[in-house]
Structure 1
């Protein structure tokens, strides 16, 4: 049977470093991890049929990307690709521009496609010529993907994701390529792995930076804080949100509970609504605190409009540092510098 949406994509579990070659079946295949929208592209099985673009959660979003739909005329019928939708804007990969594209209405989708064209970075072929490939090993699927680009002389907006079997080369990507905005880290797959939709059979390693911010609010209680909401002061002295931590470990929560004091009336974040996740409609129940505790944390490179999109990992309280030592909001281009 041919694949039809929704198809569950195969997922990855986080690792701290590139694993040993024998960790996954058949040896390692390593790819750069791009910070975009995970998407599956379906070309029609018959002439005149619709081109479909499915998100990781199963929603269809092709109406927001008419440029990709039009460019799919270059692709063969009954093809299913797994990849990442990205937008190159103002000399860099821009997640903010990608969000604008994904939220565009019918009136603006075409205009945004011209000013902020999308690209599809393909890293897997799940079907070709109506033939399912999910039971084939990754090495076979990769060969099909590479031949697709060669046979059809594909160029922008279609991009073949780089791949290497050399861990040393992937380590260099992790150290150097991730300095480019929009590249988060490295994906690790087994050359002998089948495509198991919904399972976390792959690995991902993200580059992390160390940074500092001020604790402005918490979830839970002051006696047992669960998540820290972090901020930085701007050049007008206003505390601006920059991120939230993953849930605290008990020892860290106990240390912080002895230092945090309730924020009084007039706190900069009084009445501010904090989302449970980037773009999520669900709000956190937050308690403001006096913004005089500095937290050091580890964060990935998903940094946009002065804030970290993904939860950061609390490392320690900086008792040797005051809020005046923390970089200002938007002070530099490097996330670690504000």
Structure 2
């Protein structure tokens, strides 16, 4: 998130973008309430933060993703129905002064000062940080229940390296059981397994796909798989490669009588676990 300096009496331009390996674009038109919030920053300031949407007390990544495609009146309506929030965790530049060469402890202290000085409040939120292991463990237990993956560990003395990764993420995994309803690859050499659970009406509902199976699991699963028939609950259904992807998977339906124990990170979207 950045606010650029104004020129010749023109109001400062507030902008924010989604950056990544495959894409980067200006999202101001899609999130008018966030564009307004960014204008609270002083001129020539850059904040590293996360854009999130809540629904029913949980992170709703699907609504965040859907909102990226709205513009104009559609974006204004979406801002009311599914308002976004900014969780700030690092300060890279303030009033034109580059902070990337300073240790994280100083940058975070400056970020706290920025929040106090400019009275930043919703949709702004300051990401909490601690050096207390007990506090971190409590956060890990509490936050994962609302869809937060885990914690990020960052050395207090670390500098900010553009394009680098000066931190380590710790994900909170838990195990659960699900039924194998289909596989990619082939029945003899399954690559991934598509999983489901029966709902209250007795229908097998899709709940997610595994990562690539290891050799031992692949062989053990292959010995238990049988090809599904036309009565399979997922007959005629299509599956996509991943969240937000339009690419369809080539799958083989199997008799849903194999129960697998899987590890999930607590992040879900529309009932689909990861």
- When normalised by structure 2's length, the TM-score is 0.91
Shift of 1:213: 0.9
SS at match of 1:196: coil
Contact 2:14-2:39 at 8 Å conserved across structures: no
Q: Which residue of 1 aligns with 2:258?
A: 293
Residues 199-238 of structure 1 correspond to what in structure 2 (within 5 A)? Answer: 199-238=164-203
- CA-to-aligned-CA distance 1:310-338 (integer Å, 9 cap, x gap): 3xxxxxxxxxxxxxxxxxxxxxxxxxxxx
**Equivalent residues, number:** 268
Contact 1:124 1:142 in 2 (8 A): yes
- Indicate conservation of the 8 Å contact 1:229/1:244, yes or no: yes
CA deviation after TM superposition for structure 1 residue 304, in Å = 2.7
Structure 2 regions of 5+ residues with no counterpart? Answer: none
Task: Map Cα deviations across residues 172-220 of structure 1 (whole Å, 9 max, x no partner).
Answer: 21123322x1322111111111112333331111222211111011111
> Which structure's relative contact order is higher, taking Cα pairs within 8 Å and 6+ residues apart?
1
Equivalent of 2:215 in 217, 242, 250: 250
Q: Residue 128 of structure 1: CA displacement?
A: 1.1
CA distance in 2, matches of 1:91, 1:296: 27
Q: Secondary structure of the residue that 1:144 maps to in structure 2? A: helix
**C-alpha separation in 1, matches of 2:234 and 2:194:** 10
Between the aligned partners of 2:255 and 2:55, the Cα distance in structure 1 is 39
- Using the size of structure 1 for normalisation, the TM-score is 0.75
For structure 1, which runs of at least 5 residues remain unmatched after alignment?
Answer: 1-40, 311-338
Q: Map of 1:257-272 to 2, 5 A cutoff? A: 257-272=222-237
Assess if the C-alpha contact under 8 Å between 2:52 and 2:60 holds in 1.
yes
Q: 1:156 aligns with which of 122, 128, 137?
A: 122
Q: Measure, in 2, the Cα distance between the counterparts of 1:107 and 1:240.
A: 35
The 8 Å contact of residues 12 and 43 in structure 2, kept in 1 or not, is answered as no
Q: CA RMSD in A?
A: 1.7
